[in-house]
């Protein structure tokens, strides 16, 4: 389980009050993975939302690296928001600790906190644009 202090260090969740972060902390499952572990796979169904609490990860789509993630970054939102399969793979590039939240808990978070929902959706839109931008030769 995450701690309220740990969630305060996540930019997405920092605007929440201490009691809100305390309540939210119980909704996350804490998981540690080794470097090279696939966290989500492109084309797979999406059932969870993730925050990278510690470590690093690479985001790939179509075999190309499209982003690097570090502590405080989140992923997995596109499949949940759009109701589609995962649009990219995320692989740990170091030992990492993840905070995972079920799709149902994620929906509750978005409903209870419209500001967080807006930020997650804005990030999703930026990621969609970055993924569909033509690559230079």
Dump pLDDT digits (tens) for 53-93: 999 999 999 989 999 999 999 999 999 989 999 999 999 99
CB 33 within 8 A of CB 92: yes
DSSP 137: -
Predicted local confidence at residue 129, as pLDDT? 74
CATH architecture of 30-131: Sandwich (2.60)
pLDDT of residue 36: 98
Question: CA geometry: angle at 36 spanning 34 and 128, to 5°?
Answer: 115
- Global pTM value: 0.88
Domain boundaries, the chain: 30-131
| Model pLDDT for residues 6-43, shown as the tens digit of each residue | 999 899 898 889 999 999 999 999 999 999 999 999 99
> Which pLDDT score, from 0 to 100, does residue 127 have?
80
pLDDT at 37: 98
Q: Which residues pair with 31 in a beta bridge?
A: 98
């Amino acid at each position: 389980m995450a701690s309220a202090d740990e969630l305060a260090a996540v930019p997405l969740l920092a605007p929440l009050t201490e009691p809100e972060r305390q309540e939210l902390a119980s909704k996350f499952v804490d998981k540690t993975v080794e470097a090279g572990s696939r966290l989500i796979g492109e084309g797979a169904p999406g059932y969870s939302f993730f925050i990278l609490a510690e470590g690093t990860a690479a985001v790939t789509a179509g075999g190309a690296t499209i982003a690097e993630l570090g502590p405080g970054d989140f992923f997995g939102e596109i499949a949940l928001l759009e109701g589609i399969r995962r649009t990219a793979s995320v692989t740990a590039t170091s030992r990492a600790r993840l905070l995972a939240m079920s799709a149902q808990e994620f929906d509750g978070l978005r409903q209870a906190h419209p500001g967080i929902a807006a930020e997650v959706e804005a990030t999703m839109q930026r990621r969609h644009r970055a993924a569909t931008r033509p690559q230079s030769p």
